[in-house]
Structure 1
């Protein structure tokens, strides 16, 4: 009988710990889900305020009063390539991005930051 109690008490303590841990994890998950669902308006606002790299490139080109053709000739690419960058169909290479930044008088980092 003494052997049974010495085995039973640690087993019960172990199961109590497992149940307690499961409850704790469940509470954490519920808190995280509540926080996530409450943040939905913030996510929507951020999404609405986010611009793509193409939109940023087009805005800089328009602000600089340049045509797609002028930008293309300055970089040695086709006008269609510039159009694809602005529409988001493709992205400029790193070298072309640096050349665009120089052409627009800004840093490449600034172009990328505006796009995020």
Structure 2
């Protein structure tokens, strides 16, 4: 009889823990669904922000591609390595002022125009 009572208490505790775990999973699931829903609904806002915000690297890459030039061609034209051009475009580093002026000339624009596009 004493052991039956202890078994019932243990069973009750295990049952409560199980219910708590299930409730936690449901709560986390609801939170994730709400977060995902907000993220999906913000697609237009995210797209607009990405089109507005441009780094210098993105501007340089855009101009290079519009001029139908490869990174290697740009690098050879201004006397730097292709890796340097890649670093500029990915934002790992920025071109020096003299290289920026040379890039602008190569892209048939001005350094001011390139920098104006950076937001």
Distance in 1 (alpha carbons) for counterparts of 2:109 and 2:117: 11
Distance in 2 (alpha carbons) for counterparts of 1:100 and 1:74: 9
Structure 2 stretches of 5 or more lacking a match? 1-45
Offset, 1:45: 8.4
Paired residues in the alignment total: 74
What's the counterpart of residue 55 of structure 1?
58
What's the counterpart of residue 66 of structure 1?
69
Q: 1:100 and 2:103 equivalent? A: yes
Distance in 2 (alpha carbons) for counterparts of 1:115 and 1:53: 6
Report the CA distance shift for 1:78/1:114 in structure 2 as closer, same or farther (over 3 A). Answer: same
TM-score of the superposed pair, with normalisation by structure 1 = 0.60
Distance in 1 (alpha carbons) for counterparts of 2:88 and 2:66: 17
Offset, 1:64: 0.1
C-alpha RMSD of the superposition? 1.8
Structure 1 stretches of 5 or more lacking a match? 1-43
| Secondary structure in structure 1 of the residue aligned to 2:109 | coil
| Secondary structure in structure 2 of the residue aligned to 1:77 | coil
Offset, 1:46: 7.6
Offset, 1:60: 0.2
Which stretches of structure 1, 4 residues or longer, exceed 2 Å deviation after superposition? Answer: 44-48
What's the counterpart of residue 81 of structure 1?
84
Distance in 1 (alpha carbons) for counterparts of 2:59 and 2:110: 13
